[in-house]
Amino acid sequence: MKKSIQVLISMFALLLHVSIPLMAQDPDGWEAYQTSLQPPEIVLPAIELKEGMVVGEIGAGRGRYTVILARHVGEKGHIYANDIDTGSLDYLDLRLKRDKIDNITIIRGKERDPLLPENKLDMIFIVNTYHHISHPVDVLKNAYPALKTTGTLVIIDGVPGKYGGDSSHTIPKDKLISQSKEAGFSFVKVAAELERDNIYIFRK
């Protein structure tokens, strides 16, 4: 048993050794790897994303999932892509121009406020970002007015124990629910369990 645990730890260390340089040297390869862990064919039905929806993505970064959402909501839908990292948003802007995607609006937010448009969103989407947010309750409180009454908050984040000994990319379910409740949201369900992450659904 002890030997098996040591083997798992060694495998996880190797994965980190490979994935960190991959992210730095081959960001497109890193995106493909990350997306394979959060497959759209599982995620999109689980969150009930539909054509024509308006979505605000908090922590859009370079647009890895932003462009997937944009394709799915179609011409009648729209994505507001928020981040606080200028470099990532500059890349996203170039990406949109290169690929001629015109249903995405880029928003450079503040550390405590994503600056999403009020009462316009059918969904707020946060993937692989929540555990990085310094002031999550403030961010959710400030995002709250952007969501329509019938809208949903979707958070996809790491589950403790699924990342081996590394907890820096995870958040305990109870903590996530507690923080979301403090911001005014009600927990609905875990929509799906992925290889490393859970998909959490909340409502106003």
| The pLDDT value given to residue 72 | 98
Rounded to whole angstroms, how far apart are CA atoms 128 and 35? 11
Alpha-carbon span 104 to 107, nearest angstrom:
10
Beta carbons of 200 and 190 less than 8 angstroms apart: yes
* pLDDT interval class at 26 (50, 70, 90): low
The residue that leads in pLDDT, 188 or 26, is 188
Round to whole Å and give the CA distance between 195 and 190: 14
* CA separation for the pair 204, 96 (Å, rounded): 31
Q: Which residue has the higher pLDDT, 5 or 61?
A: 61
What value does the mean pLDDT take over residues 58-65?
Answer: 97
pLDDT of 22 > 80? The answer is no
pLDDT at 131: 96
Average pLDDT, the chain: 89
Percent of the chain predicted with pLDDT > 90: 81
pLDDT digits (tens, 9 = 90+) for 147-186: 999 999 999 999 999 987 777 889 999 999 999 999 999 9
Structure confidence at residue 10 (pLDDT): 41
Indicate if the pLDDT at residue 12 is higher than 60. Answer: no
Q: Which helix (H) or strand (E) holds 124?
A: strand 121-127
For residue 24, pLDDT over 60 is answered with no
**CATH of region 38-203:** 3.40.50.150
Residue 173 burial by CB count (10 A; 0-12/13-18/19+): exposed, middle or buried? middle
* Helix segments in the chain, DSSP class H: 2-25, 27-37, 40-47, 66-73, 86-98, 136-143, 173-182
pLDDT band at 104; cut points 50, 70, 90: very high
Query: pTM of the predicted model, to two decimals?
Result: 0.86
Above 80 in pLDDT, residue 4? no
Helix, strand, or coil here: 64? coil
The mean pLDDT of 119-144, rounded to a whole number, is 97
